[in-house]
């Protein structure tokens, strides 16, 4: 799934991504390894990710920079 970072707190290690397909914003959590893979995380950054079930609803996982082609 493709989306865009709409908010991220490095101090708290989490943020929200807006899916390109629409719908509600999805929370994501980044550990040190994920932050290293993404580089600088900023508002408006294009990412692709998978959606998993979390304890309080959907969670974006495996965030990577850029968009994947739809298909």
| Boundaries of every domain in the chain | 2-65
pLDDT at 40: 87
pLDDT at 71: 58
CATH of 2-65, one of 3.30.70.20, 3.90.180.10, 3.30.465.10, 2.40.50.140: 2.40.50.140
pLDDT, tens digit, for every residue of 34-65?
Answer: 888 888 899 999 999 999 999 999 999 999 99
Mean pLDDT of the chain: 91
pLDDT, tens digit, for every residue of 20-42?
Answer: 999 999 999 998 778 888 888 99
User: Is 17 in contact with 60 (CB distance < 8 Å)?
Assistant: yes
Bridge pairing between strands 26-29 and 57-65: parallel
pTM confidence score: 0.88
Q: What is the torsional sign of CA 32, 10, 46, 17?
A: positive
């Amino acid at each position: 799934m493709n989306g865009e970072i709409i908010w991220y707190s490095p101090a708290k290690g989490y943020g929200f991504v807006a899916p390109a397909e629409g719908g509600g914003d999805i929370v994501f959590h980044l550990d040190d390894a994920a932050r290293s893979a993404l580089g600088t995380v900023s508002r408006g950054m294009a990412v692709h990710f998978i959606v998993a079930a979390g304890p309080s609803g959907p969670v974006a996982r495996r965030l990577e920079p850029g968009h994947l082609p739809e298909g």
